[in-house]
Structure 1
Amino acid sequence: MRIFIHYRLLLLVFFTFLGLNFSFAQTLTGKGKISGVVIDSTDRQPVSFATVTLTLVNSQKPISGAVADEKGQFTINKVPTGEYNVAISFIGFKTITKTVTIEDKKDNVNLGTIYLYPAVTELKEVTVEGQKELIEEKVDRTVYNAEQDATSKGGDATDVLRRVPMLTVDLDGNVSLRGNQNIRVLINNKPSSIMATSLADALRQIPADQIKSVEVITSPSARYDAEGSAGIVNIITKKTTMQGLTLGINNSVGYRGSMLGLNGSLRTGKVGFTLGGFGRSEYNVIGNFENRQNTVNSIGNELLTIQSADTRRRGLWGRYTLGFDYDIDKYNSLTASVQFGVRNNRNFQDGLLARTFQNTILQNINLRDVDIKDLSNNIDASLSYIRTYEKPQKEFSVLALFSRNNRTNDFINNILNPDSREVISRLKNLNDSYNQEVTLEVNYQTPIGKTQILEMGAKQIMRQVTSDFQYLFATGATGEFIRNTNAQLSNVLDYLQNVTASYLAYTYASKSGYSLKTGLRYEYTLIDASLKNEQKVEIPDYGVLVPSINLSKKMKGGNIVKLSYNRRIQRPSLQFLNPNIQAANPLNITIGNPALDPEFTNNFELGYSTFVKGVSLNVATFVRNTNNAIQSVRDIIGADTIRTTFQNIGKENAYGFNLNININVGKFSIGTGGDIYYATLNNNVPNPIYRASNQGWVYGARLFGNYKINDNWALQAFSFYRGREVQLQGIRGGFGMYSVAINRDFKNKKGSIGLGIENFFNFNGITIRSELNSPVLNQQSVNVNQNLSFRVNFNYRIGKMSFDAPKRRRSINNDDMKSEGGGDGVGDGMQQGGGNNGGGRPQGVNGQGTGRPQGGQNMMQQGGGRPQGQGGNPQWQGQGGNTGKPQEVPNQDQKKKKNEKETPKKEKQEEKPKNEE
């Protein structure tokens, strides 16, 4: 159930605490002391701002109390001799009551660690009016609570990521963070081989309805892999740990796409199973483009080439998961899962017409139809063992992952007679490949005293990539295809990479509100690359030392200041390495470079967060410096063909800030914000023909609104605009999108139905104008994409289950390969407006690289705790994100007598959960 808490409730609680503490200070004159630590049983994290109330036995009137600090610690001073009840409570948790006795004036009773369990009451006395924050700021990440946004329902992960602060998603699905596409995208803290080929296509496989939240981690700690220059994006899907049996149905039907998902869950005792999956289809995705390209050939003649085509795209995806978890005992657990995915993508360029002019005289005309087929299947199998201890935040874990993606990425060009449109000849490119990873990881963390945590671990990634490519030619419409034996056109690339890593991290949180998390990570990379029938590609091994430091200060009123620095690397993926000539568009070909080295980036960030009377504000400034950057090098071959390859020649800098504001007023909630940065790019090439540099401002803004009409109806709206993007050799035009959704929950809160519509005034489509300039070529592109869409969403849950507090889980994550953010298949003429690739994205190659953020959510370790000073939200979550009453949590202490005296005089005891699940 989504819990909405009005800001007036928070003020009431605050002033109640203030009044109680003032009253207590006036009445108590003893010298006794009662202390303890309050811990959340679900994740073993401190419960900051928990309320501790002291009453005399057989009396309901409070005589003293305290509020726990950010570490969950509390102390009640000046307690006279006597027998008391100590009640520990927090919104969303069951109240724990202990009986203590103060026998002499200086008696000191330490209650030790006290665990709070999720509440079983329905909070009938609370008026539910506000809404959970759409955007939350944590110590090292920004969290976008996607389940609160109905405007993206029925879409896919691409639609969700467009709404996330600091992220930009273009019309091709390429994702960038603060203007940098070198990010790692994870699913539930895990890498997946579906991300190893095309990020854009992988995101289309994830239904928006399945996404609970998105975490943007801009300052990863040493525990993270060193990969991902800009940061890490972690997509958290909806999942529950429950007792019983349930089946969830999610369905969406729309003008441009549909989805059907079924998810079942069975849990009994210590054993749990999940089985489910979904299928998505995409259709009616149409557009067109036109490129005007001026080039200078080898003898100095200037040529004008005009190229245009109509574009279509359709796709069919499926992903299925079997999960198993077993709690051996309260300290040991096993988790295993197997995921299988399939993808069937088709991209078309109909009537790809190219006309070449010299001095306004038509020199050549070429007409063809392009059909690109992208098929793949992938499997991810993981196993993890976690050992926890009585001592909070002490943990040992062993994690293993096997991931493999098999991909067939082909295209065929039917070259037509411009007059009769008969097939003259055919050109085919076949590219079979696979990406396989085996990963082992060991982690250990232990607290040092009450204010420090030490973490250490090691990891081994064994990666194998193979790409078998070949070109074939045929005459006429039915002629037999003949393989071209030229080594540049038909060959096999074998690429082996082993990464060995270890890290050490240290966290300190002082009583004065300062917190420090610093660490050091070392990674050593071994590479073995070769082409069939050719000499071995010489790539030296290399090691890298990666420091990170995060410093924050919590001030009065819950305000937080954060300062961070980290060094990152970005290894090239197969998209940059593959020597397969990508020539679906014959005037724009791309060739990879197997000898590329990694990039190195330094990131600096200063942030500030505050919360005042229902308004939260977060602002951050950042500086990013990248050396040895992988950048494109373009030249002209023949009369008018642009050839693109890649080299480590770039230097990129970005200086900017981002702002997010969230306002909750009664039934309204409004979120707005944006980011702006100044980019400087230089390829450092000494040859003036190929030298390139550019600089300029880049900005973006978004606005979200929600109005809760009543208990069942809600109305939401969303819009964003991204200004022009500064690129090394030109600019890419800006674009905007908007959507409105209305949603109705069923009375039994087991399901909902909704209607969403986007870009409803834009009947002519979204138009993007781009430019590409260099000493040897100039290009202007116009791309049009039809985005008017509507859809009906329906979801329903069958069965009844009760929630258990889930155990803290670790997951394994790899995030150490640079990819192009998804631009890897022949597209619809919308990437670079054909600027880089003429009429569309070049023929796909298989990028390598997946990501890995921190597995567990640890407040001191990764800032995963509840926001301070905001009252904290109960952690009730219904199946499929539906609003409903909180499910009852089994009482772990039912067998105890209600008023049992648990703490003898002067004896330190610890409340131990009987079921830590």
Structure 2
Amino acid sequence: MNFSLKINALLAAGLLLAAPVALRAQAPGSAGQTAPSPLAATQGATLGGTAVEAGAKAEPLPFATILLRRAASADTSLVASGQTALDGQFALPGVPAGTYQLRVLALGFQPLALAVRVAPGQATVALGVLKLRAATQQLGEVTVTGQKAVVQQELGKTVINVEKDLSSVGGTAVNVLENVPAVAVDASGTVSLRGSSNLTILIDGKPAGTSNGGPGPRLDQIPASQIAQVEVMTNPSAKYDASGAGVINIITKKDKKEGWNGQAALVVGTRDKYSPSLSLSRHHGKATWNLGYDGSDQQYRTLNRNAQTARLADNTQLYTSQEGLGLQHNRNHTLNLGLNYDLTKEQTLSVSLQPHYEHQTERDNQTLTQQTVGSPTITTQYGQELADVQVKVLESSADYRHTWEAHKGRELTANAGAVLISANIPVSQLITGGTAPAGFKQQQQVDARIFFGQADYTLPSADGKGKLETGARLQTLRNAGRTAMFKPVSLDPSAEFQLDPANSFTYSFTQVMPAAYATYSRTLAHGWSAQGGLRTEGTFLNGGVEHSPASVNRQYVSLFPSATVARELGKEPGQNRLQFSYARRLNRPDFMQQLPIQLYQDPRNYRQGNAALLPEFSHNLELGHQVNLAGGASITNTVFARFTQDAIRRVRTIDSAATRDNNVGVVTRETYDNVGTTNSFGLETTWAQPLTKWWRVSASGSVYYSQVAANALNTANRAALAGTARLANNFTPRKGLDVQLTGTIRSTVLTAQGRQLATGGLDLAVRQRLFQDRAALTLRVSDLLNTQVRRNELATPELQTSLYNKYETRVGWLGFTWFIGASKAKADRIDSAPSSGGGFGG
């Protein structure tokens, strides 16, 4: 069963949300912001234009590089540089009078160069529409049309362009992340970065709802057609929260075309799965209104098999097994309301409101057996677990942005908001077939209140080569809950259950987390650039259980330095780049991981917090290299190391008292402990190459060596080699038809007391664009061979356990999308094909 995962995720939702929710003001700036001229921004003219693809449709070229050099033969130095926005527009301010050469560079397109003259006293130079033709390379008799690089390294982060690359598209944000190097998504929807699920996932700087615990918009409800880029920061700068293995920021498209724009979609999956969605925006004058709805009504089947041999205190060995068949029914409704308003040319105000409701029911029928090793007698019991989870979330925020036209790059941002969470979680376990009453009923209620505020300020240096960023935030969280446990009084399953005061409790806690940071970055001579920063974070956590000594009181303040150094080795920016980075990171245990109370998963397993649990700190180092070759090929290699102190892991032991009293066999307790130090060393590589004009292949993989030096009970020193690999083939057999075949595999990895076995899968997607790109029809089959499964093995002196969990991952999806207004289906895209998975917490 996975209910304790979902319950713990909900009980800790505030803590998991608190760190990323305040990052909305810290999210990277939008594309199109240009590097200030080395001259004062108040001098000279502003050059502006729009870069588009040559052709009838003239699609905008986002993220293209703009270079302005002096035209004199004796002096061709760089005067200004920048990058196009999502709509292809750019502006270079502060250009003095003179003659220049302007170059527009976009990977996969032929460079465009043109002469530009700025007259004395001229304020603006309008360059109009600049059309770039696709680059081509001859391979025998085949012409290969170049495409934009899939992976680009920038200072402190890796940017994956997914807007026009089929290898990064599978229908939803979940599929996009599955295709991102160093990122893995398991069968239950949990996202991990280099093997760690303790990370921050943002959507335009706002927290995302995933199986990792965030209560924001669910990733499988966000169409891939709305995503422009994914930013992966394994060593984030001091500007970002220090918690987790890294930050993944999903950047969506920003549509400011006049009138109504957007899309409506309906996706139907095999075995009762339905997902409607609507996304609309209206831009008029200074205001942009946004309205969106995402819904789902889906059913999923589950299968779990667990077997274990336990050695009790008297050396008796008991063999137990448990098998369950379950059905989950997930219903979700999310409404998105937003307004962006330009107060002046330099000031913008944005407000948003997002109510979310989720209702999940689950029925799981179980067979439980028990046998003393050496005895022929087998005891069999039958159980049924019923759950009814209802979650209500209301998120609201207001954002303010102030820029200075006379001082390009100078910026002040501020944001404030609140997240309100309310949940009701009744769970019952009915056990029959024993000689004494067994089973339980548990009623849980949770209420969380999160409030946050933050301000950030950016100040470029006078010469335009440096930038100072600083900011502060404060967030508070109050979480209160109640758990009532009821136990049977007779063997009759219809008999009344009585309250068990010993396992019923009411808890509350408050957490305050202030933070402040400062970073400075600068472009140096000979292609060098550097960035350094320092962040300080405080954690003040206080809470406990009413009428009980069980409590948590933790206060600590920590410093988190970060640094990045990069060198451009090629003639053009991003062509050949070498980069080194370092960051100190934190894994902050949440309240429920520290509160010593019992939360039952099923009659034989429960989880309990550890009041002595310490925060986990790590030192992270990376050395990366990227090269972009002719013909659209790109190769990226990264060597990384992570050194972790007081590593937090789950540890399982036998509860002798519960085993004796519960009449269901061996009862195990799972808790959290600081197991010692862990060291990981690894290599990541990505490669993308167009083989023909209709076939593109991309591959990525990682291999890393992990060492665990344990000091916790029932854990041992161990080491292992692990890795992941992915291969995608993308075909365009004819105009308007796109096909994608993707295979992934993850090797066996270490856990605190055992290992998680290897798994993998194969996905197939086909999309046909219709009605002159006004609509699209998509067919997708996830986990084509039905091989995605979670298998764990545990081995300690007292426990030998094997766990098998199979979620319904092979699903056929048929989706239809209609594009509204100026929106149209893009070539080389597969949209509206949700991944399998769903429900609260996954």
Q: Which bracket does the TM-score occupy, shorter chain normalised?
A: 0.7 to 0.9
Aligned 1:138-537 pairs, distance under 5 A: 138-148=154-164, 156-191=172-207, 197=213, 202-208=218-224, 210-228=226-244, 230-255=245-270, 257-283=273-299, 285-362=300-377, 364-390=379-405, 391-417=407-433, 427-448=440-461, 449-474=463-488, 475=490, 476-486=492-502, 489-535=503-549, 537=551
Q: Which shows bigger deviation, 623-632 or 455-464?
A: 623-632
Task: State the Cα deviation string for residues 93-135 of structure 1 (Å, max 9, x = none).
Answer: 999986556xxxxxxx798997877x48697999994433444
Provide the alpha-carbon RMSD of the alignment.
Answer: 3.9
- Report if the CA contact (8 A) 1:631-1:650 is conserved: no
The structure with the largest strand share of the pair is 2
Asked if the contact 2:264–2:277 (Cα under 8 Å) also holds between the matched residues in 1, the reply is yes
CA contact (8 A) 2:68 2:81 kept: no
Residue 56 of structure 2 corresponds to none
Q: How far off is 1:208 after superposition?
A: 4.7
User: What is the CA-CA distance between 1:371 and the residue it aligns to?
Assistant: 2.0
In structure 2, how many angstroms separate the alpha carbons of the residues matched to 1:467 and 1:432? 5
Q: Matches of residues 651-666 of structure 1 in structure 2 within 5 Å?
A: 651-665=677-691, 666=693
For 1:592, the aligned partner's letter is G
* Gap regions ≥5 residues in structure 2: 1-42, 52-59, 84-90, 137-142, 660-665, 825-836
Q: Deviations over 1:738-795 (max 9, x none)?
A: 1122212224222211211233344xx5455431101111112344444332211211
Q: CA 1:399 to 1:703, structure 2 compared with 1: closer, same or farther past 3 Å?
A: same
**Residue 823 of structure 1, CA deviation:** 13
Q: Deviation of residue 278 (structure 1)? A: 1.1
Q: Decide which structure has the larger Cα Rg and report it.
A: 1
> Which residue of the other structure, out of 670, 675, 678, is the alignment partner of 2:702?
675
C-alpha separation between the residues in 2 aligned to 1:269 and 1:826? 41
Say whether 1:741 aligns with 2:765.
Answer: yes
Q: d(CA) in 1 for partners of 2:63 and 2:466? A: 13
Other-structure match for 2:645: 627
When structure 1 is superposed on structure 2, of 792-801 and 313-322 the one drifting more is 792-801
Which of the residues 791, 796, 816 maps onto 1:794?
Answer: 816
Distance 1:153 1:89 in 2: 31
The range that moved more, 789-798 or 382-391, is: 789-798
Measure how far apart 1:733 and its partner are: 1.2
Q: Distance in 2 between matches of 1:196 and 1:727?
A: 18
DSSP 3-state at the match of 1:541: strand
**Gap change, CA 1:195 and 1:426, over 3 Å in 2:** closer
Q: Which moved more, 1:147-156 or 1:289-298?
A: 147-156
In structure 2, the CA distance between the partners of 1:693 and 1:278, relative to structure 1 (3 Å rule), is same
CA distance in structure 1 between the aligned counterparts of 2:188 and 2:165, rounded to whole angstroms = 22
Q: Partner amino acid for 1:261?
A: S
TM-superposed CA distance for 1:254, in Å, is 1.7
Q: Distance in 2 between matches of 1:513 and 1:200?
A: 40
Tell me the distance in 2 between the aligned counterparts of 1:200 and 1:190.
8
SS at match of 1:709: strand
Tell me if structure 2 keeps the 8 A contact 1:624–1:655: yes
Task: Name stretches of at least 5 consecutive residues in structure 1 with no aligned partner.
Answer: 1-33, 56-61, 102-108, 803-821, 828-917
Please, which of 597, 600, 611 is the counterpart of residue 614 of structure 2?
A: 597
1:860 — aligned with what?
none
**Cα–Cα, structure 1 residues 352 and 745, in superposed 2: closer, same or farther, change >3 Å?**
same
Question: Does residue 641 in structure 1 map to residue 641 in structure 2?
Answer: no
Does the C-alpha gap of structure 1 residues 693 and 87 become closer, same or farther in structure 2, counting only changes over 3 Å?
A: closer
- Partner-residue secondary structure (3-state), 2:593: helix
Q: In 1, are the aligned partners of 2:550 and 2:596 still within 8 Å (CA)?
A: no
% identity of equivalent residues: 25
* Letter matched to residue 683 of structure 2: F
SS of 1:576 mapped into structure 2? helix
> Residues 144 and 318 (structure 1 numbering): CA distance in 2 closer, same or farther, change over 3 Å?
farther
Check conservation: 1:151, 1:740, Cα contact below 8 A.
no
Provide Cα deviations, 1:346-386, integer angstroms capped at 9, x if missing partner.
33322332333331433533210112333211111111111
Alignment partner of 2:731 out of 679, 682, 707: 707
Mean CA deviation greater in 575-584 or 723-732: 575-584
2:459 alignment partner AA = T
Shift of 1:496: 0.7
> What is the CA–CA distance in structure 1 between the aligned matches of 2:92 and 2:284, rounded to whole Å?
37
Structure 2 counterparts to residues 893-908 of structure 1, below 5 A: none
Q: Which moved more, 1:630-639 or 1:264-273?
A: 630-639
Which one-letter code corresponds to 2:304 in the other structure?
Answer: F
Amino acid at match of 2:403: T
Q: What secondary structure does 2:730 align onto?
A: strand
Q: Kindly state the Cα deviation for residue 667 of structure 1 after the two structures are TM-superposed.
A: 3.0
Q: Please say if residues 277 and 295 of structure 2, whose CA atoms lie closer than 8 Å, have aligned partners that are also in contact.
A: yes
Give the letter aligned to residue 787 of structure 1. Answer: T
Deviation of 1:71 (Å): 6.2
- Report the CA distance shift for 1:587/1:756 in structure 2 as closer, same or farther (over 3 A): same
Residues in 2 aligned to 1:468 and 1:233: alpha-carbon distance in whole angstroms: 34
C-alpha separation in 2, matches of 1:470 and 1:262:
40
Output aligned runs, 1:93-132, within 5 Å: 99-100=117-118, 119=129, 129-132=145-148
1:692 and 2:716 aligned: yes
Contact 1:608 1:618 in 2 (8 A): yes
Cα gap change, 1:396/1:589 in structure 2, threshold over 3 Å: closer, same or farther? Answer: same
CA positional deviation for 1:258: 2.7
2:755 corresponding residue in structure 1: 731
One-letter code aligned to 1:560: R
1:531-610 matches, within 5 Å, as 531-535=545-549, 537-557=551-571, 558-610=575-627
**Aligned-partner Cα distance in 2 for 1:484–1:235:** 46
Q: 1:51 to 1:154 in 2, by over 3 A?
A: closer
In structure 2, what is the Cα distance between the partners aligned to 1:496 and 1:463? 6
Q: How far apart in 2 are the matches of 1:477 and 1:577?
A: 35
- Tell me how far apart the structure 2 counterparts of residues 502 and 39 of structure 1 sit (CA, whole Å): 36
8 A Cα contact 1:175 1:200, kept in partner: no
**Residue 693 of structure 1: how far off its partner (Å):** 2.9
Q: Which amino acid aligns with 1:483?
A: L
1:90 aligns with 2:104: yes
SS for the counterpart of 1:436 is strand
**CA 1:259–1:800 in structure 2 vs 1: closer, same or farther (change >3 Å)?**
same
